Structure 1
Amino acid sequence: MLTIKKYAAIDIGSNAMRLLISNIVEEKGKTTQFSKSSLVRVPIRLGQDAFTVGEITDENIDRMIDAMKAFKLLMKVHRVEKYLAFATSAMREAYNGKEVVDIIKKKADIKIEIIDGKKEAAIIASTDLNYLLKTDENYLFVDVGGGSTEFSLFSDGNLIVSKSFKIGTVRLLNNMVNDIVWQEIEKWIKTNTQGYENVSLIGSGGNINKLFKMSGKSQEKPLSYIYVNSQYTALNAMSYEQRIAELGLNADRADVIIPAVKIYLNAMKWSGARNIYVPKIGLSDGIVKAMYYGKI
């Protein structure tokens, strides 16, 4: 007997908002399968508001309402039976974040929860990585967002420690990350990976996914530190316009990809990782699976 359920996750980030609709296939005697039915990404850069002026502007509130109404209709058309909507760094820091949540509930009938960095890291870490995590190896999971980056250390297939830092692509673009934050991250990574041999990175986020896609590698193959560093140098040498015209990057991706790659490179350097694996997972995937297994 085959049963198919449809769950959805809304991830309201600092650089974009995403709606993931997933098919959940249940079959007796077999492992539950999760597959993407639809993914919609709307480039509303809330972090530009939250991190510079401290509030979500009226213009972006209107855009959020329109996006949420569209998400609501898409979930109806797909016959989604259950959903959760989580907002992260930008909405956490905007002083009118809770007010925006109330407005969207009233006008779009979407209930949003603003989550802290610790819960964000836990949801991402709950994503099923068993197929990737080899029990005799160690991994540093790095999820780079627009306003925050989550680091989680896995060893022998188990989560050892995780931490969220206020560093992300939108913050870096606006020169809002000082040397002290970089030093804190370096210290945390070196301290927590000390004693663990052969650490590899697992990268999550739209920017590392794009870089991986550009590499043309098959999904199970990692990117080397040398390759990532060479791409970082090449991207830096190009203008914003060239990255759009020659590489086909979206306008809202062509600027943030450089600071994102810088975070991954530093994480590799400080952990001693030579390779970075890039499975297609993120907060929205974690929300769906955590919702299904009753963890949230």
Structure 2
Amino acid sequence: MKVRKFAAIDIGSNAIRLLTHNVIEEEGKKTQFRKSALVRVAVRLGEDSFTKGEISEKNEIRMLKSMKAFKLLMEVAGVEDYRACATSAMREASNGTEIIEKIKKEAGVSIDLINGKQEAAIIASTDLKSLIKEDQSYLYIDVGGGSTEFTIFTNGKIKISKSFKLGTVRLLNDMVKQEVWDNLKKWIETNTDSLEKLSIIGSGGNINKLHKMSGRKEGQALSYIWLNAQYKFLDSLSYENRISELGLNPDRADVIIPAARIFLSAAKWSVVKKIYVPKIGLSDGIIKTLYHSKKKKA
């Protein structure tokens, strides 16, 4: 048996995450990927990027310090290799490339700027494939702070995928035009109209939290009825009460509502009553693609 360590850094619009995995290789057995640790820092880059067009000096400093800390944590943990990916907030910031170069120079961390299609492809490389049955269809939704990726699976394969600038941080800052909602509605209705046995698979921190709040066991789906009721309940509470009474983190207590709205809208337009939450995301996909890439080269 050989145990290897890999890490992923996900630089999102709402938070920055460092995920480490133990990758267990054993002759004659399937390689196992086990989460070792997760560090999440609430640096809301999207609020800068989407409203001002650039990352503020304050968040630039916080981001640089986070990357230095992540580098040290990876060294202490004995991480063999890592990959860092930045999504919409850094892509749309006028000083995004400049900050990435600074981080590489001062923190020694290289960052890849990825687009929506690349993000969807990385996520699709996770355990998602093992959940998809060939005789059913799925609408996979990954809700982020700056954008949401939609992918349709039929016959066990990707039929079509599209990224929409419809994220929780954008919605909080009232930066999503009705046209975006209309385009999403049309896209979902057009691409799901002929599909039978359709279910939704959701990913992202917000739907994971909602699933945990529901008290359902792992593998049990959220119903549209429950999610709609929970959305209305959360919306009826003040931001402060969501933190004090429900125990939500301050950076989760606001974005969880627009996230629920996105899932509810998609479920309504695709006429789906169940949402499965396998708790996988970009970080998991980064580690999987990194490992298989290294194995192929070897």
Structure 2 counterpart of 1:154, one-letter code: F
Tell me the TM-score normalised to structure 1 length. 0.98
Unpaired runs of at least 5, structure 2? none
Q: Is the 8 A contact 1:198 1:273 kept in 2?
A: no
**Separation of aligned partners in 2, 1:82 and 1:49:** 30
Verify: 1:187 aligned to 2:183, yes or no: no
**Separation of aligned partners in 2, 1:270 and 1:123:** 26
Count of residue correspondences: 295
**Separation of aligned partners in 2, 1:207 and 1:220:** 17
**Separation of aligned partners in 1, 2:192 and 2:4:** 39
Matching residue of 1:128? 127
What per-residue deviation string (whole Å, max 9, x for no partner) do you get for residues 25-76 of structure 1? 1111111111110000000000000000000011111001110011001100
Verify: 1:293 aligned to 2:253, yes or no: no
**Separation of aligned partners in 2, 1:126 and 1:92:** 22
Cα shift at 1:280 = 1.2
**Separation of aligned partners in 2, 1:203 and 1:22:** 22
Cα shift at 1:125 = 1.5
Of residues 112-121 and 256-265 in structure 1, the stretch that sits farther from structure 2 once superposed is: 112-121
What is the SS of the residue equivalent to 1:294?
A: helix
Structure number with higher helix proportion: 2
What is the SS of the residue equivalent to 2:213?
A: helix
Matching residue of 2:228? 229
* Alignment of structure 1 residues 168-207 onto 2, 5 Å: 168-207=167-206
Structure 2 counterpart of 1:97, one-letter code: G
What per-residue deviation string (whole Å, max 9, x for no partner) do you get for residues 153-200 of structure 1? 111221111111101000000000011000000111111112111211
Structure 2 counterpart of 1:264, one-letter code: F
Of residues 84-93 and 152-161 in structure 1, the stretch that sits farther from structure 2 once superposed is: 152-161
Matching residue of 2:44? 45
What is the SS of the residue equivalent to 2:261?
A: helix
Matching residue of 2:115? 116
Moved over 4 A (4+): none
Tell me the TM-score normalised to structure 2 length. 0.97
Matching residue of 1:284? 283
Percent identity for Structure 1 against Structure 2: 62
**Separation of aligned partners in 1, 2:137 and 2:115:** 26
**Separation of aligned partners in 1, 2:190 and 2:28:** 43
Matching residue of 1:68? 67
**Separation of aligned partners in 2, 1:46 and 1:73:** 22
What per-residue deviation string (whole Å, max 9, x for no partner) do you get for residues 218-258 of structure 1? 11110000010010010011000110011100000000000
Matching residue of 1:103? 102
Structure 1 counterpart of 2:205, one-letter code: G
**Separation of aligned partners in 1, 2:32 and 2:48:** 38
Unpaired runs of at least 5, structure 1? none
